[in-house]
């Protein structure tokens, strides 16, 4: 079978590999769709933390279940996705109901080889029923679950102003679930095309481009000088993350979804006087996956909004680098297998 391997930053090759053997406790999936996310692109760039090479990329996946691995209620041949964060089940995080930040976590496509391949074995406990969704929709459940989890972490309430910094695929998902939670959403990005997408496709009422004006004044005008009670960063950009501390309302919450390798730099007095709360949001849980699937089934979210580029599996190595260029207008690229 063919697999696409990131051998080192900037080097993506297609290689012939043996089809994985069926192992006890593991399900086997014939991959049908692969979504490309920031993690994959950053790994290709060489800027992804927690990453080592060579690595088969890919964790936004859907496919046909070939072997259930003993998972209760699943049948061979059904459409599935899975939770790509493989946890130990025993550490303090797992015992606390937080398998998404397990101390021994292995994220598919990051710590262990991922799904840019024809067949993939995954722990049977990670399987998620397709529940009538298409392969396209199922491949987008995981990135949307990242957004759903961050909104749950922030405990967003109806009527709150929620500022989402970064209108990439993860940021867009955060905006969607903030809207579903009843928030007044503010989208911020320096990419005018992305902000136009927010307005026209996601119906986001408020947008700010930091390159085009004073962010503080814009936030004052939108929030009647209260500022957003929830700020969520989805950029993974050090400067953007540090700037985000200036935008929090007194008593507000700042949630970091984006990840970068550097240090946070804040004014302690400014943060302290707000009695602000800082938290990270990592991965997602089964509850979030179920919320996403339910939201798609009820028509609250249209995953088709996100898919701007499609490519066949055999053409990935030739096309992949182009998705780093904002000029291509890529929101979500999908590999068809």
pLDDT, position 90 = 97
Count of CB atoms situated within 10 Å of the CB of 131: 17
* Sequence-ordered list of residues with C-beta below 8 angstroms from that of 145, at least 6 positions apart, any chain: 284, 288, 289, 291, 292
Q: Is 56:114 a contact under the CB 8 Å cutoff? A: yes
pLDDT the model gives residue 46: 87
The DSSP call for residue 47 is -
Residue 20 is classified by DSSP as P
Quote the tokens at residue 225. 């000088």
Cβ atoms 21, 320 nearer than 8 A: no
* Structure letter (DSSP) for residue 6: E
Q: How far apart are CA 96 and CA 105, in angstroms?
A: 14
d(CA 4, CA 116): 6
Sign of CA dihedral 96, 101, 106, 107: positive
pLDDT at 52: 87
Q: pLDDT (tens digit, 9 = 90+) per residue, 33-44?
A: 999 988 899 899
CA distance 112 to 50: 11
What is the rounded radius of gyration, in angstroms, for the C-alpha atoms of the chain?
A: 20
Tell me how far apart the alpha carbons of residues 91 and 45 are, in angstroms, rounded to a whole number.
Answer: 32
Domains of the chain are 2-140+306-336 (3.90.180.10), 147-280 (3.40.50.720)
**Phi and psi torsions of 221, nearest 5°:** -65, -40
> Distance (Å, rounded) from C-alpha 172 to C-alpha 37?
12
Give the model's pLDDT for residue 187: 98
What is the rounded distance in angstroms from the CA atom of residue 106 to the CA atom of residue 184? 35
Confidence at residue 197, expressed as pLDDT on a 0 to 100 scale: 94
Burial class (CB in 10 A: 0-12, 13-18, 19+), 203: exposed
pLDDT, tens only, 189-225: 999 999 999 999 999 999 999 999 999 999 999 999 9
CA distance 120 to 105: 18
- CA 59 vs CA 3, 33, 67, 174: distances in Å: 14, 10, 19, 19
Yes or no: say if 150 and 128 are a contact pair by the CB < 8 Å rule.
no
Positions in the chain whose pLDDT score sits under 50 = none
**pLDDT value of position 49:** 79
SS3 244: helix
């Amino acid at each position: 079978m063919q697999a696409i391997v990131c051998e080192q930053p900037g080097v993506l090759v297609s290689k012939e590999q043996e089809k994985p053997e069926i192992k006890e406790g593991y399900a086997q999936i014939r991959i049908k769709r692969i979504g490309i996310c920031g993690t994959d692109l950053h790994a290709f760039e060489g800027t992804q933390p927690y990453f080592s090479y060579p690595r088969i990329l890919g964790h936004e996946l859907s496919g046909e279940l070939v072997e259930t691995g003993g998972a209760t209620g699943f049948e061979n041949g059904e459409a599935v996705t899975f939770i790509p964060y493989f946890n130990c089940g025993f550490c303090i995080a797992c015992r606390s109901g937080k398998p998404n930040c397990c101390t021994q976590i292995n994220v598919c496509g990051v710590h262990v080889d991922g799904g840019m391949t024809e067949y993939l074995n995954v722990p049977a406990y990670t399987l998620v029923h397709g529940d009538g969704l298409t392969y396209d929709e199922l491949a987008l459940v995981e990135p949307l679950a990242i957004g759903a989890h961050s909104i749950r972490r922030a405990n967003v309430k109806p009527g709150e102003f929620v500022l989402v910094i970064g209108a990439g695929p993860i940021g867009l998902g955060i905006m969607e679930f903030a809207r579903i939670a009843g928030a007044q959403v503010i989208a911020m990005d320096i990419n005018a095309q992305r902000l136009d997408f927010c307005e026209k496709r996601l119906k986001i009422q408020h947008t700010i481009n930091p390159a085009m004006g004073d962010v503080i004044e814009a936030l004052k005008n939108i929030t009647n000088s209260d500022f957003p009670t929830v700020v969520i960063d989805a950029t993974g950009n050090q400067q953007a993350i540090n700037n985000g501390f200036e935008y929090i309302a007194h008593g507000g919450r700042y949630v970091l979804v984006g990840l970068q390798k550097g240090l946070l730099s804040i004014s302690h007095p400014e943060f302290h006087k707000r009695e602000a709360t800082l938290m990270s949001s990592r991965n997602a849980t089964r509850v979030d996956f179920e919320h996403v699937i339910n939201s798609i089934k009820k028509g609250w979210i249209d995953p088709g909004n996100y898919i701007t580029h499609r490519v066949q599996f055999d053409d990935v190595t030739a096309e992949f680098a182009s998705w780093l260029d904002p000029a291509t207008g890529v929101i979500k690229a999908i590999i068809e297998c």
